[in-house]
Amino acid sequence: MIEFKNVTKTYNSVSRGRPVAALTDINLKIEDGETVFFVGPSGAGKTTMMRLITRMETPTSGSLKVNGTDLRRIRPRRIPEFRSQFGVEFQDCKLFPKYNVYENVAFAMRVLGMPNRIIKERVPRVLAAMNIQHRAKHFPDQLSGGEKQRAALARALVNNPKILIADEPTAGLDPKMSKDVLDLLVSLGSSTKHKRTVIIITHEQALASAYGKRMIRFENGRIAEDTGRAQE
Amino acid sequence: MRKYSLPYLLGRSFKGFSRNGFMSFASVLILTSCLLISGCFGLLIYNLYVNLNELDELNEIVCICRYDDFTEAEHKALYDRISSLENVEEVQFTPRAEALEKMREKYAEHPQVLERFAEDNNPFPDVYTIRYSGSEAQATDLLFTLRNDKKFPEFKSVEDRIETANTLEKLKNTVLWIFIGFLLVLVFISVVIIMNTVRMAINSRSDEVEVMRYIGATGWFISFPFIFETFFTGLISALIAFGAQILIYDKTMQVISSDISVSGLISFVPFSQVWYVVLLSFVGVALLTCYIGSKISLYKHIKV
């Protein structure tokens, strides 16, 4: 479970000469296995939410717990272990241009020190599940936008994360491809095999609302609307 | 406990090194130059030390006999009188014939220098070499006694190196401190260059670093390739600098040994006697510099 209690995050702005609030007084609970859309315009605080959940940033005030771990008190040396429960799909995919698709996906397993035997067994399986196995030897610049997203998703999923976060997965895709990618993400959250929490960050509210899943709308660093049952 | 594959990490380091291309090349050049300058300076100082120590012992007084026709009994009496003096540790008598022979051995490669001298026109005098102990004041007292014509009329002149010894000691210390200062400046420059190289490597792989951090890479996993990339730089620089050092040293020795007026004054330690010290120093300094530079840069730019 992810639990925000009165979380505020401010940054020191050099240009403005005073702290700027990215998020203000956020109260939120996301249950295990939930699929949630974070929607809102650019600068509303969606990506800061992701950075807080993954402990890339710490809250300025308030309490934030992820699966029982208090992120304001976690010891620095435990952070890598904490982060290993996440799979993250980035806005611009962040596939490594010098690695082919297979190597890009395998990289996520190497980060966690997985042995080659398991990498060789698991990567093709995940690529097949993402329907991109035929592109395993191709490099990112040889892939279409949708294929890149699926390759990035394969990398995010290969470690079987408890929490999957997709940051603007439809950015730069045409409507058809956007729908395909979102269908895939939502299906991952609906899987009964893995009780996986899926957080999809997007500015395409209309597209997100079509899935009937919980949707949290951010505006100016505050929650403007939460359609979910679990909001505090 | 995660088990990382060392060959994989080393492979990533090597790829990173080759991907950095021009910057890696520039770092190698600068680090090589710094090592080479330090090496040349260091070897110069080492040779200076060796030469200074070879300048017959500095705690010696050399007494040159006024006449070369003393009998053996006269020499024995003189030897005993010198030996009985306070602070005298050892007395060595070198007959003029032996002195000529020694010089012939020293200049064996240039026999023409002494060929016109024989026993009847030997230019060398009989000499007593006295090794003493004690303070500078005691040495001065001993010198005063030996130079007293009434006590030792047999001596034409008495040479000492007390002042020379002091001056050389000061010179050695000054040169050593200059070398240390110089070395620190060069190490500082190298560290800055390595820091900059690592910063550029981090910038060019910022996506890779971000992805690693998001999915739980340890600081060690993130920093290892960057540190080892610089180790490649350090090792290559050390080896190139070592090769260049051999050539420079050889060339310098050739130039000096070809000129008798210089080679008579200065002797160079053969490189075969110091090569391992030079190699280990180059590798050690290069790796240490790279480690410090990369750690500072990694801490500054990605906080690992």
Contact state of A111 with B8 under an 8 Å Cβ cutoff: no
| Amino acid B36: pLDDT | 94
B88 or B267: which carries more pLDDT confidence? B88
In tens, the pLDDT along B22-43 reads: 888 888 999 999 999 999 989 9
Q: Would the CB atoms of A86 and B19 count as touching at under 8 Å?
A: no
The CATH number of the domain covering residues in B67-153: 3.30.70
Backbone φ and ψ of B261, nearest 5°: -65, -25
pLDDT tens readout for residues B143-173: 889 888 888 888 988 888 777 777 777 887 8
CA angle B119, B122, B124 (to 5 degrees): 135
Q: Which helix (H) or strand (E) holds B117?
A: none
Give B-chain residues touching A112 at CB under 8 angstroms: 2, 215-216
Of A98, A116, A159, the CB nearest to B215: A159
CA distance A48 to chain B (A): 13
B220 shares contact with chain A (CB less than 8 Å): no
User: CB-based burial of residue B179 (10 Å sphere; 0-12 exposed, 13-18 middle, 19+ buried)?
Assistant: middle
Closest CB from B4, B19, B208 relative to A113: B4
Q: What is the pLDDT of residue A232?
A: 39
Q: Does B19 touch chain A (CB under 8 A)?
A: yes
| CA dist., res. A77 & res. B280, Å (int) | 35
Report the pLDDT value the prediction gives residue A103, as an integer from 0 to 100.
Answer: 94
B10 touches chain A (CB under 8 A): no
Asked if B21 reaches chain A (Cβ–Cβ under 8 Å), the answer is no
How high is the pLDDT of residue B234?
94
> What is the structure's pLDDT at A231?
41
Q: Does A125 touch chain B (CB under 8 A)?
A: no
Chain B residue closest in CA terms to A87: B215
Give the mean pLDDT of B89-94.
90
Instruction: Name which residue leads in pLDDT, B179 or B247.
Output: B247
* Contact of B88 with B143, CB cutoff 8 Å: no
- Among the partner residues A86, A96, A116, nearest to B215 by beta-carbon distance: A86
Alpha-carbon gap, residue A82 to A162, rounded angstroms: 11
Does residue B55 carry a pLDDT above 70?
Answer: no
Q: Output the pTM of the full model.
A: 0.72
pLDDT at residue B11 greater than cutoff 90: no
Band (pLDDT 50/70/90 cuts) for residue B261 is low
pLDDT band at residue B9 using 50, 70 and 90 as cut-offs: confident
Inter-chain residue contact B217 with A116, CB threshold 8 Å:
no
Pick from A86, A116, A155: which is nearest to B5 by CB? A116
Between A and B, how many CB-CB pairs are < 8 A? 58
Q: For each successive 10 residues of chain A (232 residues), what is the average pLDDT?
A: 93 77 92 92 90 93 93 90 92 89 94 90 92 93 90 92 92 83 83 82 88 91 81 40
Torsion of CA B210, B211, B216, B220, to 10 degrees: -60
- Structure tokens that stand for B125 in this block: 């005098």
B303 touches chain A (CB under 8 A): no
Locate the chain B residue with the closest alpha carbon to A50: B214
| CB-CB contact of A2 with A36 (8 Å) | no
The pLDDT of residue B56 is above 60: no
Taking only the tens place, the pLDDT of each residue in B218-235 is: 888 899 889 998 999 999
Residue with tokens 């020694």: B102
- Using an 8 Å CB-CB cutoff, list chain A residues near B15: 98
Q: What is the pLDDT of residue A230?
A: 44
The ranges assigned to domains in chain B are 2-55+166-301, 67-153
The b/e string for A62-71 (b: 16+ C-beta within 10 A; e otherwise) is bebbbeeeeb
Section B70-99 average pLDDT: 89
The answer to whether B212 contacts chain A (CB < 8 Å) is: yes
Contacts of A96 in chain B (CB under 8 A): 207-208, 211
Question: How many other C-beta atoms can be found within 10 angstroms of the C-beta atom of residue B45?
Answer: 15
Mutate which: A105, A110, A162, vs B, most B CBs within 10 A: A110
The mean pLDDT value of chain B amounts to 86
Q: How far is A155 from chain B (nearest CA, A)?
A: 10
Q: Pick from B210, B211, B216: which is nearest to A81 by CB?
A: B216
Interface predicted TM-score of the whole assembly (ipTM), two decimals: 0.85
Q: What is the pLDDT of residues B96-127, one digit of tens each?
A: 888 888 888 877 777 777 788 887 888 888 99
Between B211 and B258, whose confidence is greater? B211
A94 lies within 8 A of chain B by CB = yes
